[in-house]
Structure 1
Amino acid sequence: MTDSDNHGYSRRTFLSGAALIGAGLVSGRVQAASIPEAAFMTEAATQPPLAPTSGPDYNPVVTLNGWTLPTRMKGQWKEFHLVAEPVVREIAPGMVAHLWGYNGQSPGPTLEAVEGDFVRIFVTNRLPEHTTVHWHGQLLPSGMDGVGGLTQPHIPPGRTFVYEFQLQKSGTFMYHPHADEMVQMAMGMMGFFVVHPKDPAFRRVDRDFVFLLNSYDIEPGAYVPKVNTMTDFNLWTWNSRAFPGIDPLVCGLGDKVRVRFGNLTMTNHPIHMHGYDFKVSCTDGGWVPEAAAWPEVTIDCAVGQMRAFDFVADRPGDWAIHCHKSHHTMNAMGHDVRTWIGTDRNSVTEKMQALVPDYMSMGASGMAEMGEMEMPLPDNTLPMMTGWGPFGAIEMGGMFSVVKVREGLGRDDYSDPGWFEHPEGTVSYEWSGESLNVDRADAPTIDGNTVEVQVVKPSAAGMNH
């Protein structure tokens, strides 16, 4: 596989003749003049997979709203070039963030290799402070582990370090700094590292999707995340994208599909997919034996963990996939907003409109109206709920996407097929027959609004059990 201009890459040569400092002592030390060119990506759309052109065969992964870094072979070494640098990332249409990442994006490009490969990874630092790279989950020499001050010197701004190690096992891994980690990870520095099995037939799938779970606290109108936030994040993202900016996972009918994800946020995420049950196939520690793979419809992913699940796409449709923490499918949430459900806001609204004619009172009957009303927003922020489907507002944001299963897709076709055309008689519909009497004259009210309350007292017999 060679450096390529495909997939919207741009290429620049870095630090020709600059001093190289290795992260550890491994045979095959290289000279500065042989640094491979670094590929860059600025497009926010999911890029096509990068198929191998030499070496062992494997089915390449598809990085959701991302790309795979091209490599070059030099002797037995598979060489990569990562550039740590400030980047501008579109979170979703209408909002961009000024982050730190690698090779033009946050997260950085996915690294792909094969079990047993000797990899040489050049890391050039274009940040305003020092950095390192930790290869999360990899088995390697201590001096290549990437913990600044402990296992290696920090990489100063303007310098390039080299990491060299042999890949000991296949599986799902990540990379991220272990230098000023709180700031650098809060700014978006992370990426995926997929190691394919040496045997091309081992646990092979037709479509293999990867993404990272990350989060940001960016105030409306601001561009830079608040790096000291611990819990009150307002943007929950997959690969630094929030719905409706997250691309769909497009699958052909009958395809065997794998979905891999890693969690680098500050909390756990129960990832739930509609329409299917799946089998958990891979964890941080490696592959789950097929006989031991367990069925789920939701799999929790704790901080620092990686998970993968497999399913056969045998049910056509548009199937939601999302974090099941309800706040994580919202954008730009204000955590101090008061709850007005059940209150009568009419008199307040009249008084406010006398002062501010465009004033609207919202929230007295829930927040669903926010998904339908395209109200003016401050610059560079997102609605709390956004996105439209064929039947109206989807009322989602954040960690939400759609698995689109279609018949007749080409093997390498990942383009969005549009909304699913439901067969006649398979869509939920409004009842048009005899009306149902659901009114209750004795129902309690709060500020004139009827409240449905049913209390069932336990029987004496029930208390005895």
Structure 2
Amino acid sequence: MTQLIKIILLILCCFSNVVFAEDDAALPPEDSDPPRPWEKDALEDLPPGEPDNDYTPAVVPNGRTAEYKIVDGYKVFHLTAEPIEWEIADGLKVHTWGYNGSSPGPLIEVAEGDRVRIYVTNKLPTPTTVHWHGVLINCGMDGVSGLTQPVIPPGQTFLYEFIFPDSGTFMYHPHHQTMTQEGMGLVGMIIVHKREPDPEKRPDRDFSIMLHEWTIDVGTARPNPLDMTFNILTMNGKVMPATEPLVAKLGDTVWIRYGNLSAMDHHPIHLHGYNFKIIGTDGGWASDKSVLVPETTVLVPVGAVKVTEFLANNPGDWIFHCHMTHHIMNQMGHQFPNMLGMDVGDLDEKIRQLIPGYKTLGTTGMHDMTESGMPIPPNSIPMLGFDGQFGKTVLGGMANVLRVRENIDTYEDPGPYKFPEGSVAAPATEEELERDGIKRR
């Protein structure tokens, strides 16, 4: 019996040594480092991604995509940070800062694994840097002044060189005097596409929208980045009604990518007529879309990106807007005295004897501001709204329209939706009221 026990123990000992040896073989050597985020792409040495062949280019309403050239397998971009004049809407031009003549700057659009050289020229009156927000790159290219690089002095050009390792949606902005420089409009979007040769597996429409906020006092032309009482809230640098509609064909798969580089405010963007799924952030993609809960509002926090996806299956003109109600008001709708419910009697008539054209505004809300006809301070915008088929739409600020159409051949703006007969809300007839037992009050 003793001999049998010894044999069993010997067998168990040998077996355990084999198991532990196999486990040890699966572990990396103790002195090895984890792989860097970009190392896999560096080893693969992928060719530059080609628009249309590798990805469907994104659409930038009211904006444009950055130009590049290919040199030795690198996509070479050139950004210039500079003073600009920027029109936020008809009647409001600002003297501010931007990249390559616009705010936001041009969309940087590449494919995963692309090697880039991005030259940044500083034509500002102050030093700057560029941070590639959300992109996993080597530390020396991160763009934090003093910590990872010296500042770019006025008049100089710096080179950022790295690999975009992951597909996704990211942003770029200064990381030097950030509050001032972002507040003056130095912001931009980055899209890194998955390499997908099959167009059927890509979105049909892929939109890029930067959310931003400004303080521009009435009658002035210079943003005040030190003031936190924001009165201009923009999508791609424009306010409603200057925002360019998004157009999709019935049956299209649509992505809308939102980035938020506002100074203080998160933006809950609500889309009428649709639900969607939030399929990505600046941290990555959802691994399984089937488990995602449908939404109708996406909250885009400060410094974050959200990507939404939906099937364009409901034709019409659908508004989408920030649901913080003061974010869909234009400049002169803010800091307005509370006149709601006030009975002005014949006050207006008496004041008009001194000030021709005078009208008290705000007694029933902001709608009368769109129709007053009163002169306004130069370089200022009231609650403009826009002329719809049925009257004035009292929306400003952070809002736009999604136009979904059937039987269209291009993505040019098709104009107002043609409603099928009998499909529009209208005054109830006496017959309808009687039919359903509704009494007028």
TM over 0.5: yes
Equivalent-residue separation in structure 2 for 1:107 and 1:119 (angstroms): 20
Equivalent-residue separation in structure 2 for 1:373 and 1:61 (angstroms): 40
Residue 247 of structure 1: how far off its partner (Å): 0.2
- Greater fraction of residues in helix: 2
Equivalent-residue separation in structure 2 for 1:201 and 1:292 (angstroms): 24
CA-to-partner distance for each residue in 1:3-35, whole Å, 9 max, x for gaps? Answer: xxxxxxxxxxxxxxxxxxxxxxx9xxxxxxxxx
| Structure 2 residue matching 1:296: 3-state secondary structure | coil
Q: Identify the residue that residue 262 of structure 1 maps to in structure 2.
A: 259
Equivalent-residue separation in structure 2 for 1:155 and 1:84 (angstroms): 10
Equivalent-residue separation in structure 2 for 1:361 and 1:120 (angstroms): 57
Give the counterpart of 2:430 among 430, 433, 454.
433
Equivalent-residue separation in structure 2 for 1:180 and 1:82 (angstroms): 18
Contact 2:275/2:310, CA 8 A, preserved across alignment:
yes
Say whether residues 1:279 and 2:307 are aligned partners.
no
Q: Which one-letter code corresponds to 1:367 in the other structure?
A: M
Contact 1:250/1:405, CA 8 A, preserved across alignment:
yes
Q: Which one-letter code corresponds to 2:191 in the other structure?
A: V
CA-to-partner distance for each residue in 1:333-361, whole Å, 9 max, x for gaps? Answer: 45432222222211433442343342212
Cα gap change, 1:143/1:53 in structure 2, threshold over 3 Å: closer, same or farther?
closer
| Structure 2 residue matching 1:349: 3-state secondary structure | helix
Cα gap change, 1:383/1:124 in structure 2, threshold over 3 Å: closer, same or farther?
same
Cα gap change, 1:308/1:322 in structure 2, threshold over 3 Å: closer, same or farther?
same
Q: Which one-letter code corresponds to 2:175 in the other structure?
A: H
Equivalent-residue separation in structure 2 for 1:190 and 1:270 (angstroms): 20
Say whether residues 1:247 and 2:244 are aligned partners.
yes
| Structure 1 residue matching 2:326: 3-state secondary structure | helix
Cα gap change, 1:147/1:250 in structure 2, threshold over 3 Å: closer, same or farther?
same
Equivalent-residue separation in structure 2 for 1:336 and 1:402 (angstroms): 27
Residue 54 of structure 1: how far off its partner (Å): 6.9
Alignment of 1:148-297 (within 5 A): 148-201=145-198, 204-230=202-228, 232-265=229-262, 266-289=264-287, 290-297=289-296
Give the counterpart of 2:63 among 38, 63, 66.
66
Give the counterpart of 2:75 among 52, 75, 78.
78
Give the counterpart of 1:103 among 100, 104, 108.
100
Q: Identify the residue that residue 5 of structure 1 maps to in structure 2.
A: none
Contact 1:171/1:286, CA 8 A, preserved across alignment:
yes
Residue 409 of structure 1: how far off its partner (Å): 2.7
Residue 199 of structure 1: how far off its partner (Å): 3.3
CA-to-partner distance for each residue in 1:64-111, whole Å, 9 max, x for gaps? Answer: 210111211111211111111111111011211111111111111000
Equivalent-residue separation in structure 2 for 1:255 and 1:407 (angstroms): 10
CA-to-partner distance for each residue in 1:212-241, whole Å, 9 max, x for gaps? Answer: 0001111222111011012x1111101110
State the percentage of identical aligned residues: 47
Q: Which runs of 5+ in 1 are unaligned?
A: 1-25, 27-51, 440-465
Residue 201 of structure 1: how far off its partner (Å): 4.5
| Structure 2 residue matching 1:243: 3-state secondary structure | coil
Equivalent-residue separation in structure 2 for 1:86 and 1:149 (angstroms): 24
CA-to-partner distance for each residue in 1:163-213, whole Å, 9 max, x for gaps? Answer: 011111000000000011111101100111000013344961001000100
Contact 1:318/1:402, CA 8 A, preserved across alignment:
yes
Q: Which one-letter code corresponds to 2:107 in the other structure?
A: T
Q: Identify the residue that residue 132 of structure 1 maps to in structure 2.
A: 129
Equivalent-residue separation in structure 1 for 2:335 and 2:368 (angstroms): 19
State the Cα RMSD in Å.
2.0
Residue 314 of structure 1: how far off its partner (Å): 1.2
| Structure 2 residue matching 1:295: 3-state secondary structure | coil
| Structure 1 residue matching 2:430: 3-state secondary structure | coil
Say whether residues 1:414 and 2:395 are aligned partners.
no
Contact 1:56/1:114, CA 8 A, preserved across alignment:
no
Cα gap change, 1:339/1:181 in structure 2, threshold over 3 Å: closer, same or farther?
same
Give the counterpart of 2:84 among 77, 82, 87.
87
Q: Which one-letter code corresponds to 1:248 in the other structure?
A: P
Equivalent-residue separation in structure 2 for 1:54 and 1:280 (angstroms): 25
Say whether residues 1:377 and 2:376 are aligned partners.
yes
Q: Which one-letter code corresponds to 1:127 in the other structure?
A: L
TM-score (norm 2): 0.84
Equivalent-residue separation in structure 1 for 2:227 and 2:408 (angstroms): 43
Residue 140 of structure 1: how far off its partner (Å): 0.3
TM-score (norm 1): 0.80
Q: Identify the residue that residue 16 of structure 1 maps to in structure 2.
A: none
Residue 147 of structure 1: how far off its partner (Å): 0.5
Equivalent-residue separation in structure 2 for 1:280 and 1:392 (angstroms): 34
Equivalent-residue separation in structure 2 for 1:118 and 1:292 (angstroms): 34
Equivalent-residue separation in structure 2 for 1:383 and 1:271 (angstroms): 22
Decide which structure has the larger Cα Rg and report it.
2
Equivalent-residue separation in structure 2 for 1:215 and 1:200 (angstroms): 38
Equivalent-residue separation in structure 1 for 2:326 and 2:381 (angstroms): 15
| Structure 2 residue matching 1:429: 3-state secondary structure | coil
Q: Which one-letter code corresponds to 1:319 in the other structure?
A: W
Equivalent-residue separation in structure 2 for 1:169 and 1:101 (angstroms): 27
